[in-house]
Structure 1
């Protein structure tokens, strides 16, 4: 689904990613692992089409991402940011419903739209909170709302930047079990430091050691103690 060719990303004077070529397919759950500042978030935002300054090419379903309209990207790509912007003073349900705007605009009450929104509420167990203001629930509950919004968007490509932030162990596992359930029809990429969940749920991993050393492949081949020590040293 996603073909990355010779991708190079620079943040001011620091080269984060250099000449990365990789393919992400439907049916796979990829984890991106690296130290803070290694470029995980920047890579996700670049794949999502939010950062236009990069070298190389990114194709989604054989179309260069630079050629996709904003509407098409909104329909094809769902991104969970690491830090969400301030929430609007609206209900949990309204917040989640905005994920459907790229398809339905003013027709968010149609049966199909209600079904997708209800499904997202159910996955993150938010039914009892759906009429409450997003600003009047806990940080963990707000994170569940953000994840439910991504689920409701129902895009082919799902990008999750540190999705476990503020989530307890129940909802971390609930999220990953849901992603495994839908992975056959989605391309899923997450950035995380939680190695346990990568080993348990992900199929592939991309290790950002530094701009010159990037490893990629199946979890069982790449997620070794030696490779982890190359990133985290003796702290692993």
Structure 2
């Protein structure tokens, strides 16, 4: 994948030094992309959140989106999902303009698990079944096919044994797996996860990231995850997109991102790479 320096990136990305190699719109277009954003701008009132952002999510890859608080990561996912409409630029899903797709067509292609979601008073099976609602008519009910999809989604997410348990009675890790099963039941080809490890203990966080990687590598999906834990992002994601001040300032494999030193510049931390029990792991220092 070719990379080049985008003129002015250093000025727009606070803390990113000149000369950092970043991906521009022309490079993004050459990626076999499930999702592609080109020059997207979005603002809440007078406050610009996304400032000419370009990014491609390659099909069949898990992309980790990292960046400081308030840089626009969650807004980026909501634009991809069609919840927010950009003021400028374009969003493409599998080559089609996002705004040309009906709600049902979007649901077949994109599924979003937002950062903040309340757990309803229902069983895990009922919660996961909510993922099928986008495919049903106004007065439609679950079909036998829908029920098979719900059962398979619970199996893949590892919550099949919790089907009849109250969702509110689950542990944090179990609850997040149940919500991911709900997203799986939507049967979208691209899944967006917004900080799915929030409030999880280290073991549960590892499990959720392993599940996210499995969705891509074993289920043939495309994934993007907004994540603050840099060591987990580097360990589990195929690609890392680094955001700062409403733009993508660098994108590449974990090794490429580490070689560029951009994480140190954006976050002000050092990243150590090591091998543990035959697996490459990372730590911040």
Fold shared per TM-score above 0.5: yes
Q: Give the SS at the match of 2:48.
A: strand
C-alpha displacement at 1:5, in angstroms? Answer: 1.0
| Pair member with larger Rg | 2
Task: Find the counterpart in structure 2 of residue 197 from structure 1.
Answer: 232
Check 1:129–1:223 CA distance in 2 against 1; reply closer, same or farther (3 A cut): same
Aligned length: 234
* Residues 74 and 226, structure 2, Cα contact 8 Å, conserved in 1: yes
Task: Find the counterpart in structure 2 of residue 91 from structure 1.
Answer: 123
C-alpha displacement at 1:182, in angstroms? Answer: 3.7
Partners of 1:29 and 1:45 lie apart in 2 by 17
More helix by share: 1
* Residues 177 and 208, structure 2, Cα contact 8 Å, conserved in 1: no
Q: Give the SS at the match of 1:56.
A: strand
1:102 is aligned, of 107, 112, 134, to: 134
Normalised by the size of structure 1, how large is the TM-score? 0.87
Unaligned runs of 5+ in 1: none
Partners of 1:153 and 1:172 lie apart in 2 by 23
Q: Which has the higher contact order (CA 8 A, sep 6+)?
A: 1
* Residues 205 and 223, structure 1, Cα contact 8 Å, conserved in 2: no
Normalised by the size of structure 2, how large is the TM-score? 0.74
When the two chains are superposed, the root-mean-square deviation of aligned CA atoms in Å is: 2.3
Task: Find the counterpart in structure 2 of residue 32 from structure 1.
Answer: 65
Unaligned runs of 5+ in 2: 1-33, 271-283
* Residues 206 and 216, structure 1, Cα contact 8 Å, conserved in 2: yes
Task: Find the counterpart in structure 1 of residue 252 from structure 2.
Answer: 217
Q: Give the SS at the match of 1:163.
A: coil
Task: Find the counterpart in structure 2 of residue 188 from structure 1.
Answer: 223
Partners of 1:170 and 1:114 lie apart in 2 by 30
* Residues 41 and 86, structure 2, Cα contact 8 Å, conserved in 1: no
